[in-house]
Chain A
Amino acid sequence: MMDAALVESIIRILFAGVIITAAYIISTRNLLSLVSVYALQSATLVGIALCLYTIEGAVVLLGIALVTFASKVLIIPYFIATIQERIRIKRDIEFHYLNPTTSLFLSMALMLVIYMALSSIMPNVSGKPTLFFFGAVVGLSLVLMGMMVTFSRKRAITKVLGYLTMENGVLLFGMFVTELPFIIEFLIVIDLIILVILTAILTVGIDSTLEEYHNRLHRFYLWEGTEDVP
């Protein structure tokens, strides 16, 4: 066992890292770096899980770390990087509803709102070590920030990354607050779904916005096929 205070301070730095990567995903216009930032975010989560293991000693945390590392640091980024090699779009400069500056300010405000909401909902948690409470706040913020990416960006690939960020938030929230085994299952399911979506995208290509993507699906008769199934 390492010094608990030191580990806690490391976890705090990692929290900051997680939020900064999320902020980067929200605000950047450069598609190429998005994937590596996402991988970095996942790696940070792995780090958090490992640090938490040194405090709590639950083996399931090691499992989480392993699964996350394999799926989100290696496999998913690899898939997306492959896609990016095929398409020629390097920038996503179109924004819906929110421009990057506003969404950054909004996410700061959201963190505060979540903090207030959680401190009134979960008085028992706020009584526990502040680290866990803060983990919950960061996890939820990450979910909401990911959600903001999904609706404020136009390129499909950015939307997928927003979705992945959301899922990272769920993982983080799960690590600090709720029951663990359930979460692992949930997480793997979501990961599988994402992988399916990714392969679908891989076959079609996503050098387009989602609206165009629909058209393309129509053209390849992929959309009707799924709709015909009752």
Chain B
Amino acid sequence: MNGEFVAYCVINALAVLAIAPLYMSLIKKVKAWTQGRQGPSPFQTYANLAKLFRKEVIYSPNSSRVTRVAPSITLAAILVAALFVPLAYVPAPVGGIGNIILFLYLFALARFFMALTGLDAGSPFGGMGSSREMSLAAVIEPVTIIVFAALAFVFASLNIFDMFVISAASAFPVTPTLILLAISLFIILIVETARIPIDNPETHLELTMIHEGMILELSGKNLALMELAAAVKFTVLSALLINLVLPFGLVTTFSVAGVLAALLLFLIKGAVLSGIVGIFESSMAKMRFFRLPSLFVMAFFFSTLTIIIEVFA
């Protein structure tokens, strides 16, 4: 592990942490606009998090050590996963960092802890949330792995860093396969970050909530950590989508000005994607839970089709 890579890790993690809450508020803003409301300020999520970090923490008498350590581990796992997806500057990968399967399983690690937190307090809502979360995660997993296998097939590499380098180097990166993969990745983004039509991130209604259900019993800084983890997860998955499909601006050699410019460019691209997600969410209603598997089968069909076209045609 050389100094350059350490620098990359620190910069990438900090950049993700800094950007992530912005996108959350942007989505809310876009949704508010489509509903004809003013909406919160784009910096509202920062204020919310800062307030939560200052508040006292309330634990349930039933809760064990899991509630006390899981939020930190969840955020840590997602942050390590964030190291796998360079936002602006792609260094040479070190020690297999960037392996796409490991990336997927780091999310699984975070989800495992989050689901246990949901069960820890003994509240029926938490159990409901984690049960649904684990079931949906299980059903979407084949889709994700097929999409990732297709990515590995198209870019002839298992490493996200190599994929980014290839896509940044090609003059005309947008191929038909990549467009199809981008749509599949968008579906995965929606499912993994628990947005409409999978889950409604804004309600606390027991019939609909999945992600909110799991973190219902958390408070103070634990809640802040979980919300931050969700925001970072959104940013990381968007970065994967953006840098594969629209990689222009991505730099592969280090220079302060270049990296800053690339970061700025990413910030704009990410903001556009958040806007698209916001509009997408506004145009849909939350789906009934047991209808979701057929949506996933549709996504599976879609990603398989990509592969069939890539392999056979």
Chain A residues within 8 Å of B, Cβ to Cβ: 9-10, 12-13, 15-16, 19-20, 23-24, 27, 100-101, 104-105, 107-108, 111-112, 115, 130-131, 133-134, 137
Contact = CB atoms under 8 A, between A and B. Distances in A.
Interface string B295-313: 0011011101110110011
A23 B176 contact: no
A141 to B, nearest CB: 10
Contacts of A13: 176, 179-180
Ranked nearest first, the 7 interchain pairs of A and B with the lowest CB-CB distance are A134-B313, A13-B176, A9-B176, A12-B176, A101-B297, A104-B301, A104-B297
25 contacts: A12-B313, A13-B176, A13-B180, A15-B309, A15-B313, A16-B176, A16-B180, A20-B301, A20-B305, A23-B298, A24-B298, A27-B297, A27-B298, A100-B297, A101-B294, A104-B297, A104-B300, A105-B297, A107-B301, A108-B301, A108-B304, A111-B308, A130-B313, A131-B313, A134-B312
Contacts of B180: 13, 16
Nearest to B172: A6
B135 to A, nearest CB: 15
| A10, A23, A107: residue with the most chain B Cβ atoms closer than 10 Å | A23
A16 B306 contact: yes
Interface residues of B, number: 18
Given A12-B176, A13-B176, 20 more contacts: A13-B180, A16-B180, A16-B305, A16-B306, A20-B301, A23-B298, A27-B297, A27-B298, A101-B293, A101-B294, A104-B298, A104-B300, A104-B301, A107-B301, A108-B301, A111-B308, A112-B308, A133-B313, A134-B309, A134-B312
| A10, A16, A23, A111: residue with the most chain B Cβ atoms closer than 10 Å | A16
B175 interface: yes
Nearest to A135: B313
Contacts of A131: 313
Nearest to B300: A104
Contacts of B308: 111-112
